[in-house]
Copies of this chain bind each other. A is one copy, B any other.
Amino acid sequence: MIAEQLMVQSAIGNWTRTIQRVSSTFKVLPEAKFYETVAPGRNRLIYLLGHLTASNDGMLPLLGFGPRLYPAFEETFLHRPDRSVDPLPSPAELLRCWVEVTNRLQDHFTSLTPSEWVQRHQAMTDEDYVKDPGRNRFAVLLNRTSHASFHLGQIILATK
């Protein structure tokens, strides 16, 4: 296998492992636990699940895969802090959205060629891309994997 294919495989694998750890953590979580914070005064688990769902959902338009599935989540879980929107979706509903968004992304990820991975993402103009070709789909994937790991580290504190 050539280098660029191995790199794509590694990056998708790293993303998938991270997402699966989030999924498996929340899937066995009793409903009441969703409303606990990761540390005193910090975000609640339900907010972090919504935040990661909204962040992943935003990858669909950013990577050119289509519109967000849950556009209202952008305001609730990205623009506003925890405890400022009431009521939130239920844990069961949020988990269904999480699974749907991550499955949708996974389908797109596995269909891209290596050269499609390094094409510019949709928030950039062609001119910007010429100046900075590092801002491409692949970079977005790595960056969002780190973002998910960052919050997974917090989630684990409240659930293990």
CB-based contact B1/A3 at 8 Å: no
Task: Determine whether A11 belongs to the interface, using a CB cutoff of 8 Å to chain B.
Answer: yes
Pick the interface stretch among A26-34, A60-68, A72-80, A139-147: A139-147
Complex contacts, A138 vs chain B, CB 8 Å: 6-7, 10
Q: For the complex, give the distance between the alpha carbons of A139 and B150 in Å.
A: 18
CB-based contact B1/A4 at 8 Å: no
Task: Determine whether A54 belongs to the interface, using a CB cutoff of 8 Å to chain B.
Answer: no
- Interface of A with B (CB < 8 Å)? 1-4, 6-11, 13-14, 18, 38-40, 42, 114-115, 117-118, 133-134, 136, 138-139, 142-143, 145-147, 149-154, 156-158
